[in-house]
A and B are shown apart, each in its own frame.
Chain A
Amino acid sequence: MQKTEFLLSLDELLELEPGTVKGSETLESLEGWNSLAIISLMALMDERFGVTLQPRRIAACTTVADLVALLDDKIA
């Protein structure tokens, strides 16, 4: 998955306009980043890559860049 595609997926699951998430934001600053969004992200990663993200590791992320780093080998 390209990073731009991942950011667009984040827009979609946060119900934001495409192109809203740029990649450097803190998660806290994103409207809609809550426990439901975490579950949606887990569902997306399971569907796309068959991996179960551990919620504790997602909760430890403070920025979108941290999320990208967490997904590491999945995002080009």
Chain B
Amino acid sequence: MKATVAAIEYHFPERCLTNAQLAAEFPEWSVEKIEEKTGIAERWIAAEDECSSDLGIAAARKLFDSGACRPADIDYILFCTQSPDHFLPTTACMMQERLGISTSAGALDFNLGCSGYVYGLGLAKALVETRQATNVLLVTAETYSKFIHPKDKSVRTLFGDAGAATLVRGVAGNDEFIGPFVYGTDGAGARNLIVPTGGMRRRVATGEGATMDSDGNLRSEANLYMNGAEIFAFTLQAVPKVVRELLAAAGKRLDDIDLYVFHQANQYMLEHLRKKLKIPPERFFVGMRHCGNTVSCTIPIALKQAVEEGRMQPGRLAMAVGFGVGYSWGATLIRWV
């Protein structure tokens, strides 16, 4: 039994945040400048009462509606988020009931950000290939917007909310469709991308006491903080290394990969990494203009867009590379079926 990526669907919330709206709120930035610096034209923002489970469920329902599988086929739910509905219970457990998935299914949440999709594929493959499950529903969903201070343009311009659902299905045979995997972790970078309060270590999370940084952005310790320069430095070190390690582990050369699908962090950084790795543009996917950085959803959204654009077809080989908050990173190969 081998695991395959059988189908992907995604969902955005209804509310759109455009560059024109941002430029009106931050007059020091123009519409053109926001797009030039980020490569993003619009992001989708969850409603007040809309949670990551809702976005994930909407994406999963699209998967069922597409005919890829039925709720009854799912025997394991993996849910990746850093903005769960509750501390407990596990969001994946509530999704089982809402999606009409069998009570004989396993379900768990895992907390990762931009690397989450690659880790989810690793977990799903392990479940399938050790015959613990046959049809794994891997859902990534994130509502970072709820962590972001409205006056913090550094992150508000970048992040968007979304949900994505992937069916990882076991098929008979010995051909590999997912893998190998290369992982990495460096907790020394924790402080550079963090929501400091609200968890058990510093439980009281209030929006009061917001302070201004040197760029004029406001945030409190209950808000998302990103040290962009440190994250960039981390990326310059970690991403080329993990790409080379994965190519070596797979016995492949750079041009054996049909499409590189990196975490869509921001277009400026992606373009820099592409040039640094000498990947030709036609083999490198950039697809964040209409959704921004959707954290663990960027890779499945990009893969689905690549399929729709005809850039991923059966038999083609993609490299997925996730990297970010933790620090955590991972990369794998996906042979499209």
A interface residue numbers (CB < 8 A to B): 34-36, 38-39, 42-43, 46-47, 52-55, 58-59
Does B253 have its Cβ within 8 Å of any Cβ on chain A?
no
Give me 18 other A-B pairs in contact (C-beta within 8 A), A39-B268, A42-B229, A55-B232 excluded: A34-B214, A34-B215, A35-B154, A35-B215, A35-B228, A36-B37, A36-B228, A38-B229, A39-B228, A39-B232, A42-B236, A43-B272, A47-B275, A52-B233, A52-B236, A55-B227, A55-B230, A55-B233
Q: Is the CB of A55 within 8 A of B214?
A: no
**Bound: A22/B229 CA distance, A:** 25
**Bound: A58/B227 CA distance, A:** 13
A-B CB contacts (within 8 Å), total count? 39
**Bound: A52/B214 CA distance, A:** 23
Q: Is the CB of B236 within 8 A of A55?
A: no
Give the contacting residue for A53; candidates B154, B214, B227, B233; CB below 8 A. B233
Report chain A residues within 8 Å CB of B154.
35
Does B104 have its Cβ within 8 Å of any Cβ on chain A?
no
Q: Is the CB of A54 within 8 A of B233?
A: yes
B interface residue numbers (CB < 8 A to A): 37, 154, 214-215, 227-230, 232-233, 236-237, 268, 272, 275-276
Tell me the dominant secondary structure on chain B's binding face: helix
Report chain B residues within 8 Å CB of A42.
229, 232-233, 236
Report chain A residues within 8 Å CB of B214.
34-35
B271 to chain A, nearest CB (A): 9
Report chain B residues within 8 Å CB of A34.
214-215
Q: Is the CB of B272 within 8 A of A46?
A: yes
**Bound: A46/B275 CA distance, A:** 11
A76 to chain B, nearest CB (A): 24
Q: Is the CB of A58 within 8 A of B272?
A: no
- The 4 tightest CB contacts between A and B, nearest first, are A55-B229, A38-B229, A52-B236, A34-B215
Q: Give 12 CB contacts A-B under 8 Å.
A: A35-B154, A35-B214, A39-B228, A39-B229, A46-B236, A47-B272, A52-B233, A52-B236, A54-B233, A55-B230, A55-B232, A55-B233
**Bound: A58/B228 CA distance, A:** 13
A61 to chain B, nearest CB (A): 13
**Bound: A37/B236 CA distance, A:** 16
Closest to B213 in A: A35
Closest to B154 in A: A35
**Bound: A59/B192 CA distance, A:** 15
Closest to B217 in A: A35
**Bound: A46/B154 CA distance, A:** 22
A17 to chain B, nearest CB (A): 18
Q: Is the CB of B37 within 8 A of A46?
A: no
A67 to chain B, nearest CB (A): 14
Report chain A residues within 8 Å CB of B232.
39, 42-43, 55
Report chain B residues within 8 Å CB of A35.
154, 214-215, 228-229
Max chain B CB contacts within 10 Å: which of A38, A46, A59? Answer: A46
Report chain B residues within 8 Å CB of A38.
229
**Bound: A46/B235 CA distance, A:** 12
Report chain A residues within 8 Å CB of B272.
43, 46-47
A60 to chain B, nearest CB (A): 12
Report chain B residues within 8 Å CB of A58.
229
**Bound: A38/B215 CA distance, A:** 12
B236 to chain A, nearest CB (A): 5
**Bound: A59/B214 CA distance, A:** 11
Report chain B residues within 8 Å CB of A52.
233, 236-237
**Bound: A61/B215 CA distance, A:** 16
Q: Is the CB of A47 within 8 A of B233?
A: no
Report chain B residues within 8 Å CB of A39.
228-229, 232, 268
